[in-house]
Chain A
Amino acid sequence: MRRYVEGAVQLLGPVALVVVVGILSTTVSSANRIYFLNALVSVAMVVAIYVFVGNSGVLSFGQISFVAVGAFAAGVMTVPLDSKKGVLTELFPLLRDHSIGNIPSLLLAAGIGGLFALVVGLPLMRLSGLAAGIATFALLEITHNILQQWTKIGPGATTLSLVPQTTGAWQATLGALVAIAGAFAYQRSRLGRQLRASREDPAAAQGIGVDVHRQRLWAFTFSGALAGFAGALSVHLLGSITTDQVYLELTFLTLAMLVFGGLTSLWGAVVGALAISGLDSFLGQAEQGVHIGFKLDLPTGSRLVFLAAIMALVLILRPSGLTGGGEFRIPGLRRAGPREEAPAPPA
C-alpha cells in the first residue's frame, strides 16, 4: 500500500507541473501561448527519449528520427484532401487519396514510430556505449536523408504546410500527461525494473536472468512510439514542418533538456524540458526587449550564447542535473518501503 502512495507522490510532481503550465497557457495572450504549448510538446519528446536513454543508460542520438517520422506521418495524413492533391502530387496514391482526423493521426504516428523503432532496434540494440551513440546517430542521418529526398512518402525538401493546427492547450497538456503516465507505468513495471537493473550493472542483471537485449528493445520501441506521438503533437501545433526542424538541432536541444534536468529520472526529464524551453522563450523575448522591473534588451543572437553557457555551467557544477537524478519527493515526507536509490549516472 505504502509503495503505491510513494508512487503516487512521484507522479504528482511531473503531473502538477504540466497541468500548471497547461493552465497558464490559457491565461496569456495568444501570441505568447505558443511558447507554453511548445514547452508541453517538448515535455512529451523529452519523456519519450528518457524512456529509452534514461532507463537503459545507453546514449541515443536517434530518437528524433521517430519524432520526425511521426510528425511527417501525422502531417501528411491530415492535410485536407482537396489541397493535398494540389501540393503533394508525387505521393503514393494510398497516401494522396486519403486523409484522416486528428486523433487517428496521433495514434498512427505513435504506431509508425513504434514499428520503426522495433525494426531498427532489432539489430541496433546489440550495441552499447559509443558504438550505440554513433549507430543511432547514423540512423538519424539516414532518416533525415530519406525524408528529404523521397517525395513519394512526403513533401521531400519542401515545407509541409496546411496541416490542421489542432494541438491547443487541451491536447498539448493531455499529450504531455499521456507520455508521462506511459513512461511512469513502464519504469515501475517488471520490464522497466529489469532494464534499470541492467543500466546499473549489466553483468549482474544478466546473472539474475535479465535478457538485456530484449529489455532494451522493448524500451526502444516504446520510446519510439511516444516519440512519434510527440512528433504528431508538434506538427499539429506548428501547422507546417520541414525535415531540418526535426534533425540535429532538435536532437541536441532535447538531449540537453534531459541531461540538464537529470538523465535518470522522469522528474528530471519533465523539469529539464520545461526549464530549457522556458529559458529559451524568455531569452528569445529578451532579444526583442522585455520589461522585468527594468528594460532588458539583449543583442540579437545572444539567446544561444546564454542558453549554451547556462547549460554548460549547470552540467559542470551539477553533472547529475537539476533534480540530481532522483524522482519527485515532497521534502520532509518520510520515505516508505525499500529505498529506491537515486542512481549514479550510467557508465
Chain B
Amino acid sequence: MIVAALDFQTVSDAVATGAVYALMAVGIGLVFGVLRLVNFSYGQLIMAGAYTLAFTSGWPVWASVSTCFAVVIAISLAMELTVFRPLRGQSPAVMLVTTFAIAFLLQAVALIVDLRNDFIGEVATSISALNEAITVGGVEIRKVTIVAIGAAIVALVLLALLLTRTTIGLHTRAAAADFRTARLLGVRVNRVIMFTVVLSGVLAAAVAVILTVQVPLVSPDFALHDTIIVLVGVVVGGLDRLWTATLGGFAIGFASGMINGALPTDNTVYLPSVLFGIVILVLLLRPAGLFSWGRRASAERV
C-alpha cells in the first residue's frame, strides 16, 4: 500500500519541499554561524517578500521579482542594524525571544496592511505561469517543482563557491568558526555580518518566489509553519555547521513530503506526534545533530 504510493510524483514533490526547506535552512544557518542567533523571524522575511509579489502582481515579472528581492534584503539589513547589532553578545534566550517579538511585529504590521481591503489574504498572480504542469514520462510535474529543485542546487553551488573561493567567504567561515579570534586576526566583522545577512535575505526572497508560485494566497502567517519545521530540521541536523543544517532542513522537508504523500489522509491525524516523537528521539541520541559525526556536543556554545 505504502510502496504503491511511493510513485515518482510523490518523490518529486517531496524533493521539491526538501529543496525549499534546504534553502531556508541555509538562510537560518548562515546567520546562526556568525551571530550565534536563531532567527525566528526568518519566516516573516519570506512573508514580506510574498506580499511584495502579491502587491506587484500587475507589474512585469522581472520588475515584480526584483522588487521582492530588494524589499526582503532591505528588511533583513534593517533587522541587522536595529535588532541584531544591539543584541550582539546577549544570551541565546534573549536573542531568540527578541526575534520572536520581531516576528510578531512584522506579522501584525502585515495584518494591518492586508486588512485595508477588509479581508485577509492577497493573491500573487504575476508568476503563476510556473504553476502549470508539464508531463514527463506519464507523470505530471509542475514547472515550479523543477524550478525549486534547480534554484536550490544553483543557490547551494554558488554559495559553496562564494564561501570557499572568495575572501569575504573565507572571512565569513573564519568568523563562524571562532568569532573572537577572527576579529583579532583582522576580519572586519561588521562587513562579514552584513554580507551574511544580505545572503540570507537573498535566499529568503528566492524562497518567497518559489512558495508564492506553489501557494499564491498570501496571508500574515505565510511561511510561519514552514519556518518552524525548518528550525526543528536544522537543529536536528546540527546547527553548528552549515552543511549539516542544510541537510537537516532538506531531510525534514523530504520526510514530511514523503509521509504526507504516502499515507491516506485519515491516518495522518497523529502524524505530527510521530514526526516530533522522532525529533525528540534523534535529539536524545545525537544532541549535537544527526549529521554531526565525530564532533563533541557543544552545549555551552548555544
Contacts and interface: CB of A to CB of B under 8 A. Distances in A.
A301 interface: yes
B108 interface: yes
Contacts of B270: 145-146, 149
B276 A129 contact: no
Interface string B102-117: 1011011101100100
B166 interface: no
Nearest to B287: A131
Of the four ranges (under 10, 10 to 19, 20 to 34, 35 or more), the interface on chain B belongs to 35 or more
B147 interface: no
B235 A130 contact: yes
Interface stretch (A67-75, A88-96, A213-221, A311-319): A311-319
Nearest to A312: B101
A346 B101 contact: no
A345 B98 CA distance: 14
Nearest to B277: A142
A149 B279 CA distance: 20
B129 interface: no
Contacts of B98: 312, 315-316
A126 B288 CA distance: 13
Given A135-B280, A146-B270, A305-B112, A312 B105 contact: yes
Contact of B94 (A53, A131, A315): A315
A300 to B, nearest CB: 7
Contacts of A302: 108, 112
B87 A316 contact: yes
Given A130-B38, A259-B97, A308 B102 contact: yes
Given A128-B299, A131-B283, A149-B270, A259 B93 contact: yes
A313 to B, nearest CB: 9
Of the four ranges (under 10, 10 to 19, 20 to 34, 35 or more), the interface on chain A belongs to 35 or more
A300 B280 contact: no
Interface in A271-310: 299-305, 307-309
> Most chain-B CB neighbours within 10 Å: which of A130, A141, A145, A303?
A130
Contacts of A124: 280, 284
B287 A127 contact: yes
A176 to B, nearest CB: 23
A146 B277 CA distance: 12
A305 B96 CA distance: 18
B105 A309 contact: yes
B279 A256 contact: no
Contacts of A134: 231-232, 235-236, 279, 283
Contacts of A311: 101
B279 A129 contact: no
B272 A256 contact: no
Given A141-B276, A142-B273, A308 B108 contact: yes
Contact of A139 (B101, B111, B280): B280
A300 B115 CA distance: 9
A316 B86 contact: yes
B224 to A, nearest CB: 9
B269 to A, nearest CB: 5
> Most chain-B CB neighbours within 10 Å: which of A123, A302, A308?
A308
A129 B93 contact: no
A262 to B, nearest CB: 11
Contacts of A79: none
Interface in B192-214: none
Nearest to A301: B112
A141 B272 contact: yes
Nearest to A304: B108
A259 B235 CA distance: 23
B112 A135 contact: no
Interface string A131-168: 10111011101100110010000000000000000000
A252 interface: yes
Contact of B276 (A138, A255, A299): A138
Contacts of A246: none
Contacts of A127: 283-284, 287
16 contacts: A126-B287, A128-B299, A129-B300, A130-B302, A131-B297, A139-B276, A149-B270, A263-B93, A301-B115, A302-B108, A308-B108, A312-B83, A312-B101, A315-B98, A316-B82, A319-B90
Given A131-B297, A345-B91, 18 more contacts: A59-B96, A127-B284, A127-B287, A131-B235, A138-B232, A139-B276, A141-B276, A149-B269, A300-B112, A301-B112, A302-B108, A304-B104, A304-B108, A307-B104, A312-B83, A312-B105, A316-B83, A347-B91
Nearest 7 A/B pairs, CB to CB = A304-B108, A308-B105, A138-B276, A345-B91, A312-B101, A308-B104, A129-B302
Interface of A: 53, 59, 123-124, 126-131, 133-135, 137-139, 141-142, 145-146, 149, 252, 255-256, 259, 263, 299-305, 307-309, 311-312, 315-317, 319, 345-347
Interface of B: 38, 82-83, 86-87, 90-94, 96-98, 100-102, 104-105, 107-109, 111-112, 115, 231-232, 235-236, 239, 269-270, 272-273, 276-277, 279-280, 283-284, 287-288, 297-302
